[in-house]
C-alpha cells in the first residue's frame, strides 16, 4: 500500500477495512489515528485519550475476542446507542474489522422508531450508555427474541460480561455487508440501507480525493457517529488517507475552535446549523477577540458542509468572518455519504451548489428516464462504487431505487450547468431535512392521527436559516373537542423525540386535498403563508 493516495485514482488502498487497518498498523504504528479531547476531563487512563494506528489494531482485535466470547458470528448485526467518543469509534471499526455488520441506533429517532429498528434489523447485541439504558431495555422487552444489552462508557469502554477469547480469524471480503443504516423515506417506516465493505471504502475515497486529503491532515468530528456523514466522511476519509481525527463527544459552540486549534486540525465537517451557530457566536466577540481568533485559524485548509443545503449568504459570511473556505458537498446514506463536492481552493466553487461529481457518475433525467440537457430540471441520478447494495428485506423498493444499470434515484430535483455543477431545486420525495436528519412527514402524520382528538393531519418542512428546514404540522380536530397546541406537541415529543416534534402545530377546519382525497402539503403551506402564520 502506498504511503500516500493517488488523488486522481479512486481505488481504495486496501480491499477491506481490516486490511486497511492492518496495513497502516504495520507501516506507521506510532502515527496518530484518533484523539479524544473530552477524555481530558474524564477519570480515565491517559492511554485512552489518544489512539495510534498500532493501538487501533490492538483494540479492534481485542474487541473481536469479546465479540467471539458473546457468540457473535460473521454477518451478525452489532448495534450501539452511544454518544461520540472512543467507545463508539472502536465499536464501529471493530465490528467492520471482525466481519460483522454495524447497525447504529440514532437516539434522536424516537421510541417507536427504535422499537421498529431493533426488531427489523435482527441485531444480536447492543451497546448502550447509561443515559439510554432504560429506553433500550423497554424496546427489547417488546421483542420476541433476545438481544444482549451491554452498558458502555463513551470513553472507557463496554462493561464486557465475559472475558475475551481467541478465535480463528474470519475471512472478510470487499463485498461483505458492513453497515446497516436506517433512513426515513416518504412512508412512515424507515428503510435499512445495506452498505458493503467496498461501499464504505469508496465513500471514504470520494471524500479523500475530493478534499485532497493526505496523511498529515487531521479532521475534527462533531457530528454523531450514528450518521453516515461522520462514519464515511470524517472517519473513513482520514482512515483511507492515513490521516487522523479529533473526536469530541459532540458539537459545542464554546469548545469547537479550541479543539481545532489545540489539536492542530486542518479541516472539519459540519452542517449548516453549526455554521450558523459559529457565526452568531463570533458576532458576540469584541473586535480584538475576532482578530485574534481569525489569526489562530490560519492553518485550517477548509471546512466541509453537508447534510442540508447551505444558504449562499451564510456561506459567504462565514468565509468573510473566519477566513476559512467552506466546501459545500452533498451525500446520501444510500451512497456512503459524499457524491458531489465543490473543488478545493484555489479552484473556484459555486455558492448555492453542492458541486460536481467526485468518484461518481452524475446525470439529470426527465420523467421518462432521458438525460436532460444543460440547465434543464429533472431527477438527480448517481452511479458508482459507493452506491448501496440494497434496502434490507425490501427487494421491491431496492429495484425501484436502483435501476438495472446501477443508477440510483436520489429523489432530488436538480439541474446541471455548463461546468457540471449541480444545483438542487427541490425534492420529488416529501422528506424534511432538519439538522441533517431525514424526517418522513408520514411518520409525524401517523403519530398525530393516533391522538384521539385528531381527524386530519399533515406535516411539512419549511425553510429555516438555523436548521435547514423546520417541522410544522396542520391538524383538524373532532367536533366539539378541545385540544391545545402544547398538548399535541407533548404527545408528539413522547413518541417522536425532540428533532421530529413539530415546532408549531396549526389548527384548520379542513386541510386542502386533491381529487383523490390526498392531503396536498404544498397547498397547506400556501394557506399558512396567506394567513401570515409562517
For residues 528 and 474, give the distance between their C-alpha atoms in angstroms, rounded to a whole number.
Answer: 9
**In this structure, what is the dihedral angle of CA atoms 326, 327, 330, 334, given to the nearest 10 degrees?**
-110
Looking from the CA of 287 toward its CB, the CA atoms found within 13 Å total 0
Nearest to 389 by CA among 340, 437, 333, 469: 333
The whole-model pTM stands at 0.85
CB atoms within 10 A of CB 398: 17
> What does the pLDDT average to over 451-479?
89
- According to the per-residue pLDDT averaged within each range, which of 167-171, 358-362, 444-448, 521-525 is highest? 358-362
For the cut 90, the answer to whether the pLDDT of residue 302 exceeds it is yes
Q: If we measure between CA atoms, which residue out of 471, 444, 434, 497 comes closest to residue 132?
A: 497
**Is the pLDDT assigned to residue 46 strictly greater than 90?**
no
52-66: per-residue pLDDT in tens?
999 999 999 999 999
DSSP per-residue codes, 365-418: E-TTSPBPPTT--EEEEEESTTS-SEETT-HHHHHHHB-TTSPEEEEEEEEE-T
Can you give the pLDDT at residue 6?
78
Give the contacts of 3 (CB within 8 A, at least 6 positions apart). Answer: 27, 28, 215, 242
**Residue 481, pLDDT above cutoff 90:** no
Whose grid coordinates read 421498529? 116
- Residue 3 has what pLDDT? 46
Q: Of 221, 240, 199, which is closest to residue 102 (Cα–Cα)?
A: 199
The region, left, alpha or beta by phi > 0 then psi within -120 to 50, assigned to residue 496 is alpha
Distance of CA 459 to the CA centre of its chain: 22
CA distance 320 to 313: 11
pLDDT in tens, 153-203: 999 999 999 999 987 778 999 999 999 999 875 555 889 999 999 999 999
Question: Is residue 460 very low, low, confident or very high in pLDDT (cuts 50, 70, 90)?
Answer: very high
pLDDT band at 110 (very low <50, low <70, confident <90, very high): confident
Average pLDDT over residues 195-221: 97
Mean pLDDT for the stretch of residues 207-212:
97
The band of 514, judged by pLDDT with boundaries at 50, 70 and 90, is: low
Let me know: does 302 contact 345? Beta carbons within 8 Å: yes
Q: What percent of the chain has pLDDT over 90?
A: 72
> Residue 1: which pLDDT band, with cuts at 50, 70 and 90?
very low
HSE toward the beta carbon, residue 318, CA cutoff 13 A: 26
pLDDT band at 436 (very low <50, low <70, confident <90, very high): confident
SS3 per-residue string spanning 199-260: HHHHHHHHHHHHCCCCCCCEEEECCCCCCHHHHHHHHHHHHHHCCEEEECCCCCCCCHHHHH
> What's the average model confidence in pLDDT over 467-495?
91
Q: What is the C-alpha separation between 89 and 93, in angstroms, rounded?
A: 6
Alpha-helical segments (H) within 424-519:
441-449, 485-496
Question: Residue 11's Cα: distance from chain center in Å?
Answer: 23
Q: Look at residue 97 in the predicted model and tell me its pLDDT.
A: 97
pLDDT of the residue at 4: 64
Of 224, 20, 242, the C-alpha closest to 109 is 224
For residues 501 and 444, what is the distance between their CA atoms, to the nearest angstrom?
8
Interval 223-268: pLDDT, tens: 999 999 999 999 999 999 999 999 999 999 999 999 999 999 999 9
Name 309's Cβ contacts closer than 8 Å, sequence gap at least 6: 272, 352, 354, 424, 468
- Each residue of 387-428: pLDDT tens digit? 999 999 999 999 999 999 999 999 988 999 999 999 988 777
C-alpha cell belonging to residue 141: 422487552
Q: What is the pLDDT of residue 185?
A: 56
Average pLDDT, the chain: 92
Looking at the predicted structure, is the pLDDT value of residue 508 above 50? Answer: yes
d(CA 377, CA 125): 45
pLDDT average, residue stretch 463-489: 90
pLDDT value, residue 310: 85
Reported as a single tens digit per residue, the pLDDT across 9-31 is: 899 999 999 999 999 999 999 99
- For residue 2, the model assigns a pLDDT of 39
Cell of 142: 417488546
Q: What is the pLDDT of residue 291?
A: 93
Give pLDDT, residue 519. Answer: 77
Do you find a cis peptide bond into 346, omega within 30 degrees of 0? Answer: yes
The DSSP call for residue 38 is G
Distance CA 518, CA 288 (A): 57
Distance, CA of 505 to CA of 517 (rounded, Å) = 21
Q: What proportion of the chain, given as a percentage, has pLDDT over 70?
A: 96
Cell 396549526 sits at which residue?
A: 506
**Residues contacting 268, CB < 8 A, separation 6+:** 219, 220, 222, 260, 300, 303, 304
Pairing of strands 454-464, 422-427: unpaired
Tallying the residues shown for the chain, one arrives at 534
The per-residue pLDDT for range 364-373, each reduced to its tens digit, is 999 899 999 9
Q: How confident is the model at residue 276 (pLDDT cuts 50, 70, 90)?
A: confident
Amino acid at each position: 500500500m502506498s504511503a500516500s493516495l493517488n488523488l486522481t485514482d479512486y481505488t481504495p488502498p486496501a480491499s477491506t477495512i481490516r486490511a486497511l487497518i492492518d496495513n497502516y498498523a504495520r507501516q506507521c504504528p506510532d502515527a496518530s489515528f484518533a484523539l479524544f479531547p473530552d477524555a481530558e476531563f474524564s477519570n480515565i487512563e491517559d492511554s485512552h485519550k489518544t489512539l495510534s494506528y498500532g493501538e487501533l489494531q490492538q483494540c479492534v482485535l481485542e474487541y473481536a475476542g469479546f465479540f467471539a466470547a458473546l457468540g457473535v458470528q460473521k454477518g451478525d448485526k452489532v448495534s450501539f446507542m452511544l454518544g461520540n467518543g472512543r467507545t463508539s469509534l472502536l465499536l464501529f471499526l471493530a465490528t467492520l474489522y471482525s466481519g460483522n455488520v454495524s447497525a447504529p441506533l440514532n437516539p434522536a429517532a424516537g421510541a417507536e422508531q427504535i422499537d421498529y429498528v431493533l426488531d427489523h434489523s435482527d441485531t444480536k447485541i447492543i451497546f448502550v450508555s447509561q443515559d439510554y439504558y432504560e429506553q433500550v431495555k423497554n424496546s427489547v422487552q417488546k421483542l420476541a427474541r433476545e438481544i444482549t444489552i451491554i452498558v458502555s462508557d463513551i470513553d472507557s469502554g463496554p462493561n464486557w460480561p465475559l472475558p475475551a477469547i481467541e478465535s480463528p480469524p474470519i475471512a472478510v471480503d470487499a463485498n461483505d455487508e458492513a453497515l446497516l443504516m436506517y433512513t426515513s423515506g416518504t412512508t412512515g417506516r424507515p428503510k435499512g440501507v445495506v452498505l458493503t465493505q467496498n461501499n464504505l471504502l469508496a465513500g471514504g475515497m470520494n471524500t479523500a480525493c475530493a478534499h485532497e486529503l493526505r496523511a498529515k491532515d487531521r479532521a475534527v468530528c462533531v457530528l454523531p457517529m450514528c450518521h453516515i456523514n461522520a462514519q464515511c466522511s470524517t472517519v473513513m476519509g482520514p482512515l483511507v488517507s492515513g490521516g487522523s481525527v479529533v473526536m469530541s463527544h459532540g458539537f459545542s459552540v464554546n469548545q469547537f475552535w479550541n479543539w481545532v486549534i489545540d489539536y492542530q486540525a486542518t479541516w472539519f465537517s459540519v452542517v449548516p446549523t453549526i455554521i450558523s451557530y459559529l457565526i452568531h457566536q463570533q458576532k458576540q466577540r469584541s473586535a480584538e477577540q475576532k482578530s485574534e481568533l481569525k489569526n489562530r485559524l490560519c492553518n485550517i485548509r477548509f471546512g466541509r458542509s453537508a447534510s442540508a443545503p447551505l444558504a449562499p449568504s451564510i456561506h459567504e459570511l462565514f468565509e468573510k468572518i473566519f477566513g476559512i473556505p467552506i466546501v459545500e458537498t452533498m451525500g446520501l446514506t444510500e451512497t456512503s455519504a459524499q457524491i458531489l463536492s465543490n473543488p478545493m481552493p484555489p479552484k473556484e466553487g459555486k455558492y448555492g451548489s453542492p458541486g460536481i461529481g467526485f468518484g461518481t457518475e452524475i446525470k439529470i433525467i426527465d420523467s421518462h428516464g432521458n438525460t436532460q440537457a444543460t440547465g434543464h430540471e429533472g431527477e438527480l441520478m448517481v452511479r458508482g462504487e459507493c452506491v448501496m447494495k440494497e434496502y434490507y428485506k425490501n427487494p421491491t423498493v431496492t429495484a425501484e431505487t436502483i435501476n438495472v444499470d446501477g443508477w440510483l434515484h436520489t429523489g432530488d430535483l436538480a439541474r446541471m450547468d455548463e461546468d457540471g455543477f449541480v444545483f438542487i431545486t427541490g425534492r420529488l420525495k416529501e422528506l424534511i431535512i432538519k439538522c441533517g436528519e431525514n424526517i418522513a412527514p408520514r411518520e409525524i402524520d401517523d403519530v398525530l392521527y393516533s391522538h384521539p382528538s385528531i381527524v386530519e393531519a399533515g406535516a411539512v418542512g419549511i425553510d429555516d436559516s438555523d436548521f435547514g428546514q423546520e417541522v410544522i404540522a396542520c391538524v383538524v380536530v373532532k367536533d366539539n373537542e378541545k385540544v391545545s397546541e402544547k398538548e399535541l406537541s407533548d404527545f408528539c415529543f413522547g413518541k417522536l423525540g425532540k428533532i421530529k416534534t413539530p415546532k408549531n402545530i396549526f389548527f384548520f377546519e379542513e386541510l386542502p386535498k386533491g381529487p383523490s382525497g390526498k392531503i396536498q402539503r404544498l397547498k397547506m403551506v400556501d394557506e399558512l403563508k396567506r394567513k401570515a402564520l409562517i
